[in-house]
Amino acid sequence: MKKSGVFSAILLSAALVAVPFAPATAAVTHTAAVVHTTVASKAPKVVTYKNCTALQKKYKGGVAKAGVKYNKVSGKNKAFKVKPYSSTALYNANKKLDRDKDGIACEKG
């Protein structure tokens, strides 16, 4: 019986030594071998272009708000000749270039 008591004491002391010390002010959470990392998204840098020629050098089909599926021409849905890049933030920065107010700035066709 004495041997098991010594063995338990050794296990307990080893467990206490393995626990890292954290100051009371730090919020430390331990999870079983899980590491969370945050990866920066590859969102385009929001740039305001002077005119459609400048915008189309980078985005051939123009820039559309997210969710725009068709080019509105005279109130009718038309297929894209060149598919626009979809980015609401980029569209909002260049909203002045959307003359027909269909949600696509500098579209082709």
Assign 23 a pLDDT band (cuts: 50, 70, 90).
low
**Is 81 a domain residue?**
yes
Q: Which helix (H) or strand (E) holds 64?
A: strand 63-64
Percent above pLDDT 90 for the chain: 39
Tell me which of 35-44, 48-57, 79-88, 96-105 is least confident: 35-44
- Per-residue model confidence (pLDDT) at position 108: 83
Give the C-alpha distances (Å, rounded to integers) separating 98 from 15, 23, 28, 48, 106.
66, 56, 50, 13, 6
102 close to 72: Cβ distance less than 8 angstroms: yes
User: Is the residue at 41 inside a domain?
Assistant: no
pTM over 0.85: no
What mean pLDDT do residues 1-12 have? 55
82 falls within a domain: yes
Q: What is the count of structural domains for the chain?
A: 1
What is the Cα–Cα distance from 84 to 73, expressed in whole angstroms?
15
Q: Which domain holds residue 63?
A: 52-105
Residues contacting 48, CB < 8 A, separation 6+: 93, 94
Domain presence at residue 62: yes
Distance CA(22)–CA(8), nearest Å, equals 25
In a domain, 71, yes or no: yes
The answer to whether residue 28 sits within a structural domain is: no
pLDDT tens for 47-90 read: 999 999 999 999 999 999 999 888 888 778 888 889 999 999 99
Which H or E run includes 63?
Answer: strand 63-64
Q: What's the average model confidence in pLDDT over 13-39?
A: 54
